[in-house]
Chains A and B, each alone.
Chain A
Amino acid sequence: MNLGRTVSRMISLAGLLACGWLMGGCSSTPETDAERQARWQQGNLTSWEIQHGIGPVVEDIQLAAVDNALAERGKAIFVQKCATCHYLDMKKTGPPLRDVTKRRSAEYVMNQILNPEQMGKMHPDGRQLVAQYAQFMTIQGITRDNTLELLDFLRSEAGNPPAPMEQQPGFGTPPPPPTADAK
């Protein structure tokens, strides 16, 4: 993770115990989608998963202070890949995101981006959002490093007052269409 920042990864003790209990001996083999699905059907989401989401991020993420360079990269990704469905301050195809980093942990945001389908099917909050928006979040080929950039962008926006619509990242009403008398 050569992002020039400190991201420490720790397997939490609770996670370790849960892992051992659920999988019968904590093998190093990653859980398959089918295994996870089966576990979910038995109502066996861990409290860590409830809090931090279901997906490839299974360890605690510690974020340093917002890095402006990273936030800029995050903004570019947001404009290209997220702004199709998200404004910061109002509903679009998906929910507004200005304060998402205040509402959700970094791990949760990362899992939502990296694993939207299982989040939408298996996480209680994810299911609620899918029901509300009648839409699963799309997979947009965003890498794990990209999610850290997006987190810095979103953290830099969190708590700012709502911006006028035309200043929303990625918001761009197309220029006015040519009128009937345009040449």
Chain B
Amino acid sequence: MGFVVSIIGIAALFSGCSPKKEVGGFGDAAEKVYVAPGSYDEFYAFMSGGFSGQVSVYGLPSGRLFRVIPVFSVDPEKGYGYSEETKPLLMTSHGFVPWDDAHHPQLSVTDGQSDGRWLFINGNNTPRIARMDLTTFETVETIEIPNSGGNHGSPFLTPNNEYVVASTRFSVPIPQQDVSISSFKENFKGTISFISVDSVSGRMKIAFQILVPGINYDLSRSGKGPSHGWSFFSSYNSEQANTQLEVNASKNDKDFVAAINWKLAEELIAQGKGQDWTASHYHNYMDDADVGQSEVLNSVKVLVAKDHPGLMYYLPTPKSPHGCDIDPSGEYIVAGGKLAALIPVHSFSKFKKAAEASDFEGEFDGIPIVKYESVIAGEVKDPGLGPLHTEFDGQGFGYTSMFLSSEIVKWKIGTWEVVDRIPTYYSIGHLMIPGGDTKQPYGKYVVALNKITKDRYLPTGPELTQSAQLIDITGDKMKLLLDFPTIGEPHYAQALPATMIKDRSVRWYPIAENKNPFAIKAENESRIERDGKTVHVYMSTIRTHFVPDNIEGIKVGDKVYFHVTNLEQDWDVPHGFSVMGATTSELLVMPGQTRTLLWEPKMAGVIPFYCTDFCSALHQEMQGWIRVSS
């Protein structure tokens, strides 16, 4: 190591080395990220796949990719969204929507700390929230959010998973109606949804929605400690412009952080103050038999914010704020004014006092605006350009990403002075510290989640990967350790200690407990049943054969359901199943699991099928034929 370092040092002296290579300095970086073969990473990091609609799981500090969890997009690698069992998870009131734009992974919390049970993420485009089970790393539930024009500001959890909080990015006519777009101010509204989470099963349900003035609602965090019971949302376009927003939505010096008292909302709902609005939306979940179910719900409870004093306030915030983050103590609300030259920090205690004293500077569409001077705790001056998001290290410092100047800035809570900064490449969006949004961050690293990687890796044509950078924050000076490519846009990420998940990880499903109605528990139960034009093939897999492996009597025009049960009871032995010409995907069936492929033969002949997931030396022999008659 010393030898390598000296070579680099000498090269730097003689060649003048490009400044980029010196970013952060390397020193002992390799040692700090090296995880020896057979050793485990310290943290699981869950990164959004952005426009891939998925979640990717990396180890920290190695940056190794462990898995991609399919969430909102079909995934042929895992048969997700192709098998009959998982298709229902992608159902919406718009039909089967096999894609979304997934932005903000959020780990479940107990008493404001990660509890390692579930991971939530939003579908931005067709408003949805998904829940993944961290014992299996599988998506087990999705819920559609009605009365929303784009689900960007979500899913942000209250401190005990009481609610997943979701705000609409685009205000739209609510309920939808055919009106002129120029009637934005009169007809367009926003909603903020509170989705309850069952503390045992994790099952979600829209508890209530709050109808709010028609502007753009963006990022959110829920309060904790003294601010428990409140949720805060950055918002922009207080101009309520509806065209050329890059000009027309940037006119006001200040927009808002919206503060919502969800404890009060709960009381109002309990008092019957919620209105029943018709709002068709899908709720999809894997049932006890591991089969996806869709239910259509037709109404939601709505509270109209301006009708309930004390439910909502606006905190003036410069300028076009994007991020909205709460420090570990729960006292400070940090907004990232993406067009502002400073980072405004509000004080919760000052806000509460101002709200109680009606210390307002006016109102916006019926919602009181608290005086800026009465709520601001401090401003981080000249931090850089384009402050976006802030996470905390638990040691009294905030770390803010600077989109325009591509850097992370570290500042001290209370004095608001900048104490360190480190360049990132390029156009950093979110940043993430393990536990950085919780009451007790784990600290140690900050991960920069970058949009652009020009010049950074070997070129791959016009499109380059997005990327993450791992930075050591244990010392006074931030230090770059590692960078690695990511899948899709690593919009936001969350991380927790590996020990919280590792030992609870499911290795296989006990075959005796398989409740899929089409499961078979032993090879001698395999069979073929015809019902009119529908054929059910109850098929088993084990290293290294299918039963049955010769199927005759299928006719053109039949609907053939292959119910494939993997009889293996061993870790990491899934089997695949694919049919020539099938218009869907393979199945990938976990040990002890049943998955179903629908196949509709279009021509007579003999069609082969085979296992796609290498399982043994006789994997190639794991195949069979289907005879199709006209």
Contacts and interface: CB of A to CB of B under 8 A. Distances in A.
Interface of A: 79-81, 83-85, 93, 134-136, 138-141, 170-172, 174-175, 177-180, 182-183
A-B pairs with lowest CB-CB distance, top 4: A172-B524, A141-B569, A178-B553, A139-B570
Contacts of B545: 93
Interface of B: 508, 510-511, 521-530, 532, 535, 540, 542-545, 547-548, 550-555, 567-570, 573, 616-618, 629
A138 B615 CA distance: 11
Given A83-B523, A84-B540, A180 B616 contact: no
A177 B551 contact: yes
B542 A85 contact: yes
B553 A135 contact: no
Contacts of B573: 138
B540 A175 contact: no
Given A174-B547, A175-B527, A178-B528, A83 B522 contact: yes
Given A138-B573, A140-B569, A140-B570, A174 B528 contact: yes
A17 B126 CA distance: 70
B570 A80 contact: no
25 contacts: A81-B569, A83-B524, A84-B540, A93-B542, A134-B616, A135-B617, A139-B569, A140-B567, A141-B508, A141-B570, A171-B524, A172-B524, A172-B525, A172-B526, A174-B526, A174-B527, A174-B547, A177-B550, A177-B551, A178-B535, A180-B552, A180-B553, A182-B553, A183-B530, A183-B532
A138 B530 contact: no
Nearest to B550: A177
Contacts of B616: 134-136
B100 to A, nearest CB: 37
Contacts of A81: 522, 567, 569
Contact of B524 (A135, A136, A139, A170): A170
Nearest to B507: A141
A134 B617 contact: yes
B530 A84 contact: no
The winner among B522, B530, B551, B569 for most chain A CB atoms within 10 A is B522
B526 A180 contact: no
A178 B530 contact: yes
A134 B522 CA distance: 23
A175 B525 CA distance: 10
B617 A84 contact: no
Given A81-B567, A174-B548, A178-B552, 7 more contacts: A79-B524, A80-B522, A93-B542, A135-B616, A136-B616, A138-B573, A178-B529
Contacts of B532: 183
A134 B618 contact: yes
A170 B553 contact: no
A108 B567 CA distance: 25
Contacts of B535: 178
B583 to A, nearest CB: 23
A138 B526 contact: no
A180 B551 contact: no
Contacts of B529: 178
Contacts of A140: 567-570
A138 B568 contact: yes
A138 B570 contact: yes
Contacts of A174: 526-528, 547-548
Nearest to A134: B617
Given A177-B548, A177-B551, A183-B530, A138 B542 contact: yes
B106 to A, nearest CB: 35
B173 to A, nearest CB: 53
A11 to B, nearest CB: 30
Nearest to B523: A84
- Interface core residue of B510, B547, B548, B553 (most chain A CB under 10 Å): B553
Nearest to B592: A141
